[in-house]
Amino acid sequence: MEELRVFEPLFKNTLFQFFLYMALIQLLAQVFLDRRIAFWVSSVGTTMIWLKSFDPTTPLKAWTIIFLVFLIYMFPKVFLHFNLFLYLKGRKRCPDCYSEVHWRAKLCPFCKHRFKGVEKPGEED
């Protein structure tokens, strides 16, 4: 039981509490809604609850973190045509049918599109 006391300062952090509230509301919302809609319901709902009950600076910090993560994902995708999640999975996207295929595939198994060469995983044509 003493080992759990290491986590006590973490649970006292208001930013951690905010994201914990958001995760719990997300789990409840996913029961009834689509995953993407549940994220927005949980994040906006948590922000509204937090603004009414607690300090207003914590949601500002949390949304800054959310937007930074979003920018880290979107910058390579938009400007470099590089999908980080496909790269991590070792996949690439077919330009004809938009299905995910292995990064070394020369022929799409779904639409029979021939790839020009073997690209790195995550690169999009």
The 3-class secondary structure across 3-30, one letter per residue, is HHHHHHHHHHCHHHHHHHHHHHHHHHHH
The confidence band for 120, taking pLDDT boundaries of 50, 70 and 90, is: low
Domain positions in the chain: 2-79, 81-125
pLDDT digit string (tens) for 67-96?
999 998 888 888 888 888 888 899 998 989
Tell me the pLDDT tens digit for each residue of 65-75: 999 999 988 88
Helices 35-53, 14-32: crossing angle, 10 deg rounding: 140
pTM, entire model: 0.66
